Amino acid sequence: MRAVFLYWSLIEREPERVLDDLAEFTGIDTLLIYVWINTPQGDRLLLPSADDFDLPVPVVSRAEFDSFSATLEMARAKGFKVGCHFSPLFTYGQNLASLRNQALIQAAFHEYPHGNMVWACPNNPDTVQLAVGIIRSAVAAWPQAELLEINHVEYPLWPKNGLGSLFTCFCPHCQDAAQAVGIDLPSLKLAAASLLEEIASVPPPDGPAVSSPANRVLNAMLRRPQIAQWLAFRMTSMSQFVRTVTAAAREAAAQFNPTLEIGLDFFLPSAANLLGTDYADLYHLFDWVSPKFPDYLTGSIVPMIADELNPGGDPARTSALREDMRQILDAGEGPSSYEPAQSSAEELLYHNTFDAAIIDRQMSYLSTLEGKVRNYPWVWLYNRDLAGLREKFEALERNGFEGYCLWLWEPDMTTAALKETQGIF
Ligand SMILES: [Zn+2]
């Protein structure tokens, strides 16, 4: 599989042009299309009907859906496979805001990090009902799709509303789920709050006598054994959610699309467990997996957290915090100077923080999957850095991956931009 994420705007505006260019100038053979679309009328699902839902979900009109189906037919006729790109924890709009996970520090709806996107709690029965409804409907309504890709089955990772927004979830549904297995979530929440306070007040590491960042994390956990219990509870909750939605997908596939293959995306392997995705336990449910090698972790998330923990802006402390986090994430040494990225649309603060060697470093975390499941990792093109992208593809090749999933930005998909990439992917 050599897949690219295909924007709705391109499907709507110039599907034939982009398909022909991908066929002529790239080796792409698979198109991943998100089931939610953003339109001037609001966010809607690419589904012909909302009959399967008890919740108020917006869908496209019949005519719009028929036009979309015709595009899928055209893609197939041109030799592409089609995949439904689906994030079962993501939903959109204030009328579904009750599904949202509840963090230690909670932003108001209008401050959500990605517009009106709601990052739902996996223990909320409404989240499960919505995810299962979308999966069933999409599998039935997209018979042209040969693939279903399950993305973002993890807890929030963008600290746009502060580090405390990542300490989640403590909603009433999580409380019930915890209580059912004898876990006292309120006491775990106190431990999480105390850990957050300690992290936010770490003194600057200013000499060789300071312990390593990994050692500091270990000590913080030893003093608060509830933290390990809380992280394990998050992971068990997420695994249960993944099993439920995947079982629903398999059931729908058996009924409507028996050859449908289902895959799992997960975050940078060294950080996936911390975000709640137990890929080593879940991979056997899937036909393929796609670990992510995301520049936005080292280029946006790490610098944002470093800035928050260094309100005075001391450059030495900023640099030490970034290095510490990279060490904990096993992302290698960062650049000596962080260069600002050019395009704000790509949501990347610094463009020179992710080198292809990170892919090599992360391979040890994937050894448990070796030979057991097909593996098509996600890589990103940022800042139009084609040389950097070429190095990433070389790293994928030397590490034996058989394919890839690629994220390009819309300006990277014009005829001229695709032509310029010839030979890289
Ligand atoms: Zn919850």
Cα-to-centroid distance, 265 and ligand 1 (Å): 21
Q: Is residue 324 part of a domain?
A: yes
Domain count, the chain: 1
Residue 51's domain comprises 2-162+237-420
Residue 194 lies in a domain: no
Residue 411 CA neighbour count, 13 Å, CB half: 9
Average pLDDT, integer, range 292-321:
94
Average pLDDT, the chain: 94
Does 309 or 204 have the greater pLDDT score? 309
Confidence of residue 213 (pLDDT cuts 50, 70, 90): confident
Which pLDDT belongs to residue 206?
A: 60
CATH code of residue 356:
3.20.20.80
Query: Could you tell me the distance, in angstroms and rounded to a whole number, from the CA of residue 295 to the centre of ligand 1?
Result: 28
Could you tell me if residue 167 is inside a domain?
no
Q: Is 339 within the bounds of a domain?
A: yes
Q: What is the CA radius of gyration of the chain?
A: 22
Ion ligand 1 contact residues with beta carbon within 5 A: 121, 123, 169, 171, 173-174
> Which residue in the block uniquely carries the two structure tokens 């950097």?
388
Residue 73 lies in a domain: yes
Q: How far apart are CA 264 and CA 376, in angstroms?
A: 10
Please state, in angstroms and rounded to a whole number, the distance separating the CA atoms of residues 286 and 280: 11
CA of 89 to the centre of ligand 1 (A): 11
Ligand 1 centroid to residue 121 C-alpha, Å: 5
**Quick check: is 267 in a domain?**
yes
Q: CA-to-CA distance for 402 and 369, rounded, in angstroms?
A: 14
In a domain, residue 60? The reply is yes
> How far is the C-alpha of 366 from the C-alpha of 368, rounded, in Å?
5
> Looking at per-residue confidence, does 389 or 108 come out higher?
389
Cβ-based neighbour number of residue 307 at 10 Å: 15
Q: Which amino acid is at 208?
A: P
- From ligand 1's centre to the CA of 158, what distance in Å? 17
**Rounded to whole angstroms, how far apart are CA atoms 344 and 411?**
13
CA distance 334 to 322: 8
Over range 221-227, report the average pLDDT: 94
Does residue 168 lie in a domain region? no
Q: What is the pLDDT of residues 288-306, one digit of tens each?
A: 999 999 999 999 999 999 9
Average pLDDT over residues 342-364: 94
